[in-house]
Structure 1
Amino acid sequence: MTARLPLFPLGSVLFPGLVLPLNVFEERYRALFRDLLALPEDAPRRFGVVAIRDGHEVAPAGAEEAAAGYAADLSGALYALGCTADAATVGEREDGGFDVVATGTTRFRLLSVDASGPYLTGEVEEVAEEPGTGSGALAADVARAFRTYQKRLAGARERSLAGSQELPDDPTVLSYLVAAATVAGTPAKQALLEAPDTAARLEEELRLLRREAAVIDKLGALPAVDLTRQVPSPN
């Protein structure tokens, strides 16, 4: 079964269960959130978040020819698997922009893009999450590796971790939390989002966490992005 969603391309990946704060200032996306606010109060305010491939930009508002070309060549601009976001709060500012807090809900596959309106929309189909084989045991290993990883990062910055945060017991929730918090570029995070099941995602995270922790141990250096900030909270 397919559905049509307004699309919000980002230079990062959203995972189910993770909170997404947005500062909306472009007119294209102001129109999107005006339309969401115009929905009945009890209607869900959902939109699709899709990551932009490295080296590409979405067409600017008003560039009709570029937008049409972009829609025709989806594979060159956007990844084909994204995450539905549910806008919990949408606040309009005096300058006409919006402060939005949304939460990722479910993965979807992007089947087509329509750039003919004031903002991008897409036909999507939901992608179910399967547990895979051995996800429970893998989750325990990933939780331990993630704790070690956090300590290595904090030590590399000569910082202390701000308290011990409980990690979720559910393997799928844990897999998305770790995917969001681990230092990695957009292609690597997108690969985690696209994992065929929870077990496969956890296996890849275990390799990633152990490799990066070993690098920090040997070199005393951090990867390009600093994870010593607080870990995102699952919904």
Structure 2
Amino acid sequence: MPINADYRGPAELPEVIPVFPLPGALLLPRGQMPLNIFEQRYLAMIDDSLRDGHRLIGMIQPDAAHSPDEAKPALFKVGCVGRITQLAESGDGRYILELTGVSRFEVVQELSVLTAYRQCKVDYFPFIDDFTARKGEDDVDRAALLAVLTDFLKANNLKVDWEGIDKAPNEALVNALAMMSPYGPPEKQAMLEAPDLKTRAEILIAVTEMDLAKKRTSGDPPLQ
């Protein structure tokens, strides 16, 4: 999805960004994530990001395995910053918005701040390839990805827009399927931290194959 801002490299993004910890949420570069914002601290975060002009929010998962403080859980070290590309007011105090992913980042340091929402100093340079659209597409095994998608759809009695999938370039296809996948925080984090698109697709395929095998063995019902 095109966006008005043209981010050509890490230097064009702020070193300090607000972060939105959300378990199971996966945002990837050039992917779109809808959000329903209702907590006061995150409403303030959206207001501040618009007021500051950068319109950027860092999506990151809480690290439940290393979180002694439930009120302020530890964060994974890698997240993805997104730009607010759509925003609507609900009329009952909520924001309905869409983030478009820009680049992944590593958390350098969480800052002590006066805001109710959390802020981190981050580094985008480890993911400099994120600024090049469709990088590594030719290395993706599209046939294997579509095969496992077909098996997943059949196992769960789901339908999909195959015409749209056929037209989607590999980057959009891999990232959309990864973001929409029904897996937990560890699997989502592994896909986020994948070094390239090919590896992300391979992780998605492996996780899906394991999930399908587990369902066949256990007789679990399909997704509803």
TM-score (norm 1): 0.71
**Secondary structure of 1:165's partner?**
helix
- Give the number of aligned pairs: 202
Displacement after TM superposition at 1:53 (Å): 1.7
Note the alpha carbon deviations across 1:38-93, whole angstroms, 9 max, x for none.
Answer: 24xxx431111111123659875xxxxxxxxx4xxxxx611110001100122334
Corresponding position: 1:49 with 2:48: no
Corresponding position: 1:113 with 2:110: yes
Contact in 2 for aligned 1:152/1:216 (Cα 8 Å): no
**Structure-1 separation of matches of 2:159 and 2:197:** 31
**Secondary structure of 1:210's partner?**
helix
Aligned ranges 1:117-156 → 2 under 5 Å: 117-118=114-115, 119-126=117-124, 127-129=127-129, 138-139=139-140, 141=141, 143-156=142-155
**Secondary structure of 2:44's partner?**
helix
Instruction: Name the aligned partner's letter for residue 47 of structure 1.
Output: I
Corresponding position: 1:27 with 2:37: no
Runs of 5+ unmatched residues, structure 2: 1-10
Q: Kindly tell me: are residues 91 and 117 of structure 1, through their superposed partners in 2, closer, same or farther at Cα, counting changes over 3 Å?
A: farther
Runs of 5+ unmatched residues, structure 1: 61-69, 71-75, 229-235
Query: RMSD of aligned C-alpha atoms?
Result: 3.1
**Structure-1 separation of matches of 2:95 and 2:69:** 20
Identity %: 25
More RCO (CA 8 Å, sep 6+): 1
Corresponding position: 1:4 with 2:16: yes
TM-score (norm 2): 0.74
Q: Kindly tell me: are residues 199 and 116 of structure 1, through their superposed partners in 2, closer, same or farther at Cα, counting changes over 3 Å?
A: same
